[in-house]
Amino acid sequence: MFIVIGIMFGGIVVGYLLRNVKLLQEIGKPISYTIILLLFLLGWSVGGNREIMNNLPALGGQAFLIAFAGTLGSALAAWVVYHYFFKDKRH
């Protein structure tokens, strides 16, 4: 996992250093299509895995709870930051 995160941060650094290269500014659409293709292939792989498909109800419930808790926590944290740092202090 740390390798994947390290590669991602390496890509961020390289992207930042090469942000003024014209070719890299025009590569957004092909990257989006590549990501869509990768997501499709991931779905295909998951759909073909019997063990995942058999456990999907349990996995789906857990995934929903994790996503809901993460969204709720993010919204709460955003409200706290807004309330204490950005809200107009006029009475």
Q: Tell me the pLDDT tens digit for each residue of 24-68.
A: 778 888 989 999 999 999 999 989 999 988 888 888 888 899 999
Domain extent listing, the chain: 1-54, 56-91
Distance (Å) of CA 62 to CA 27, 52, 69, 82: 36, 13, 11, 30
Single-letter amino acid, residue 28 = G
Q: What is the pTM of this model?
A: 0.51
Phi, psi of 21 (to 5 degrees): -75, 125
